Amino acid sequence: MPLALLALAVGAFGIGTTEFVMMGLLPGVADDLHVSIPTAGHLVSAYALGVVIGAPLLAALTARMPRRRVLMGLMALFVAGNALSALAPGYDSLLAARFVSGLPHGAFFGVGAVVAAGMVAPERKARSVSLMFLGLTVANIAGVPVATLMGQHLGWRATFLAVAVIGVAAVAALALLVPRTPAPAGARGPQHPEAGLRGELAALRSLPVWLALLTTVAGFGALFAAYSYITPMLTDAAGYAESSVTLLLALFGVGATAGNLLGGRLADRSLRGTLFGGLAFLAVVLVLFPLLMRTEVSAAAAVALLGMAAFLTGSPLQLMVMEKAAAAPSLASSANQAAFNLANAGGAWVGGLTLAAGFAVTSPALAGAALAVLGLAVAAVAYAVDRRAVTAGASRVVTGHVPEGFTALRR
């Protein structure tokens, strides 16, 4: 695997750390800025909003630029957002800084996935993408706990400064390790300066791309329906003390890392099979969650299994979106990152509905299982659409006309 993947993983590590560390810093931030915990919670939402807006917007605006330069620029914006967070004089300025920090998130992963896949042979694309995402999962094991401890002992501003330093290291690594590449095909030329952007936008008019994005929303919505309420499940159902939750969440990171690496390897053999199998595995784990939460040992195993099952599908989903938009993958790939964050918000909302209705504390897991089944159904519809396109394409090949993109319909 190219050493350049290390640079992408460093950037992913920094992004994953700043995304999730705010949950552990909320009490300290709320106390320091004299706001309530629910008000401080809007800082999490501001980051997510930045991701959803920034992912397609920045990918579209940079469609005509060389991708190495785009990645470095996105990480520079990431550094600026975290530095502004550390220096924010009050709540409103911190809210704005968190929004800025989220803007490059989706575009970095989207463009980075395209770069990672383009540096290896076709049969190793999924594995390459999974190695970039390795930085994100490792952040949940090491980055977030260490950054949280730093915030507790040195103050939350020190945490954001440290994350900004990680961003600077990522910019340097990208400059040194990622090869220089020209702008995307069709992106240059004085007569057609908008060709790159037009090509990227055209990708979003494809039904298979939208079906892939909907699969992401449903599949990862299943994860967040349960994970958003994992703390009360562990304390109220499994009987853990609140002080043990941080260690248990590290188990989730371990499971996610294992699932991410395994999913990349399996997807290179069968992209569709890995996606179907991962969603089915996730549904089974979530259905069993209420039973597994009855003892401390089985609850710990359930947390690790949840991370593994969810991230088995991470690389396959990203690669599927890229393949459906093979002619212009950057915008579609970045839009998939926005879909991940919509899944975060939507899954948490669906899981919360079960608790608001008075069901057991483990009921969000069953709501998540329903979303996983929905994801399977959408993936099945996408498969049927693909098969119909293949059949129609085959009949047109017989007449001597090969439809555009026909050779990309595989696996």
pLDDT band at 235 (very low <50, low <70, confident <90, very high): confident
Q: How far apart are CA 188 and CA 91, in angstroms?
A: 43
> Class for domain 196-411, per CATH?
mainly alpha
Place of tokens 């989730």: 252
Residue that wins the pLDDT comparison between 305 and 317: 305
Query: Letter for the amino acid at 64?
Result: R
For residue 166, pLDDT beyond 90: yes
For residue 385, pLDDT beyond 60: yes
Instruction: Answer yes or no: are the C-beta atoms of 141 and 250 closer than 8 Å.
Output: yes
Percentage with pLDDT > 90 across the chain: 34
pLDDT one-digit tens code per residue, 105-122 = 988 988 888 888 888 888
| Euclidean distance between the first and the last CA atom of the chain, given in angstroms as a whole number | 23
Residue that wins the pLDDT comparison between 78 and 134: 78
Structural tokens at position 263? 């999913």
For residue 283, pLDDT beyond 80: yes
- Own/partner pairs for 239-248, CB < 8 Å, 24+ apart? 239/296, 240/296, 240/299, 246/24, 246/145, 246/148, 248/299, 248/300, 248/303
Structural tokens at position 23? 């949950």
pLDDT band at 389 (very low <50, low <70, confident <90, very high): low
Exposure class string for 10-47: b at 16+ Cβ within 10 A, else e: bbbbbbbbbbbbbebbbebbbeebebeeeebbebbebb
Q: How far apart are CA 15 and CA 141, in angstroms?
A: 14
Amino acid 326: pLDDT: 67
Q: How far apart are CA 190 and CA 398, in angstroms?
A: 39
Helices 91-118 & 314-324 angle (0-180, nearest 10): 70
Mean pLDDT of the region 18-47:
81
Q: What is the DSSP string of 150-211?
A: HHHHH-HHHHHHHHHHHHHHHHHHHHHHSPP-PPPTT---TT-TTHHHHHHHHHTT-HHHHH
* CATH tag for 1-179 (out of 1.10.287.130, 3.20.20.140, 3.40.50.300, 1.20.1250.20): 1.20.1250.20
Instruction: Answer yes or no: are the C-beta atoms of 314 and 263 closer than 8 Å.
Output: yes
- Those residues with Cβ within 8 angstroms of residue 79's Cβ, 6 or more apart along the chain or in another chain: 164, 167, 168, 171
Mean pLDDT of the region 30-55:
83
Domain ranges of the chain: 1-179, 196-411
pLDDT one-digit tens code per residue, 125-137 = 888 888 888 888 8
Residue that wins the pLDDT comparison between 129 and 84: 84
Separation in Å, CA 148 to CA 22, 78, 142, 188: 8, 19, 10, 45
What's the alpha-carbon Rg for the chain, to the nearest Å?
21
For residue 293, pLDDT beyond 70: yes
For residue 203, pLDDT beyond 70: no
For residue 196, pLDDT beyond 70: no
pLDDT band at 396 (very low <50, low <70, confident <90, very high): low
Instruction: Answer yes or no: are the C-beta atoms of 184 and 330 closer than 8 Å.
Output: yes
CA 142 to chain centre: 18
Amino acid 399: pLDDT: 52
Q: How far apart are CA 207 and CA 201, in angstroms?
A: 13
Helices 296-312 & 207-227 angle (0-180, nearest 10): 170
pLDDT band at 285 (very low <50, low <70, confident <90, very high): very high
Length of the chain as a residue count: 411
For residue 404, pLDDT beyond 90: no
For residue 393, pLDDT beyond 80: no
pTM (2 d.p.): 0.78
Domains 1-179 and 196-411 share a fold: yes
For residue 281, pLDDT beyond 60: yes
Instruction: Answer yes or no: are the C-beta atoms of 152 and 26 closer than 8 Å.
Output: no
pLDDT one-digit tens code per residue, 237-279 = 988 887 787 788 888 889 999 999 899 889 888 888 999 999 9
Residue that wins the pLDDT comparison between 215 and 21: 215
Amino acid 200: pLDDT: 63
Q: How far apart are CA 211 and CA 260, in angstroms?
A: 22
Amino acid 318: pLDDT: 84
